[in-house]
């Protein structure tokens, strides 16, 4: 991964590092297409919300479904961590997803068939981590930017 920064505004730097490592594991799992790695960092009852679409994914299986959808649509895509801030139980990650849509992208509005277009999408995730596992998470990105790049 490219340059990243980690800041910990809390008094427990080691705890901040642990929380940040959970976030990095999620992004690394995507890049490696090693979705089973998510079992170790997502709480069984954890919820992950795709804010732009309103979808909610539950537990490690839900997070795997979320990541697989992107990996199917953009098989050679990668995410690049730009900034990570860990404080207490919260980690915020700013990253960029890059890839070419050569597979179907499933959305709540229907499936977007492959466009062959390149996408560079800024994203931001905010995760709550307790006991080394994500209990709550939200991902933010601009759907209009994604749709414009896909030619929609």
Helix axes 13-32, 59-73, angle to 10 degrees: 50
Rounded Cα distance, 26 and 137, in Å:
11
Token pair 């804010």 is at which residue? 51
> If you count them, how many residues does the chain have?
152
Which mean pLDDT values do the consecutive 10-residue runs of the chain (152 residues) have?
41 64 96 97 97 96 97 98 94 98 96 98 97 96 96 94
What pLDDT, on a 0 to 100 scale, did the predictor assign at position 16?
Answer: 60
Q: Report the pLDDT value the prediction gives residue 99, as an integer from 0 to 100.
A: 98
Q: What pLDDT was estimated at residue 15?
A: 59
Are the CB atoms for 139 and 123 separated by under 8 Å? yes
CA distances from 92 to 22, 83, 117, 140 (A): 11, 8, 29, 11
pLDDT confidence of residue 19: 87
CA distance 134 to 26: 10
């Amino acid at each position: 991964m490219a340059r990243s920064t980690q800041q910990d505004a809390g008094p427990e730097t080691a705890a901040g590092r642990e929380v940040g490592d959970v976030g990095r594991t999620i992004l690394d799992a995507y890049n490696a297409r090693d979705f089973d790695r998510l079992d170790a960092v997502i709480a069984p009852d954890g919820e992950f919300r795709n804010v732009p679409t309103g979808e909610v994914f539950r537990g490690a299986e839900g997070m795997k479904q979320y990541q697989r959808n992107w990996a199917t649509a953009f098989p050679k895509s990668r995410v690049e961590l730009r900034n990570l801030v860990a404080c207490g139980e919260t980690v915020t990650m700013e990253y960029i997803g890059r890839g070419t849509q050569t597979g179907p992208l499933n959305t709540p509005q229907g499936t977007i068939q492959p466009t062959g277009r390149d996408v560079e999408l800024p994203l931001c995730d905010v995760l709550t981590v307790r006991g080394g596992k994500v209990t709550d998470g939200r991902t933010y990105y601009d759907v209009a930017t994604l749709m414009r790049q896909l030619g929609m």
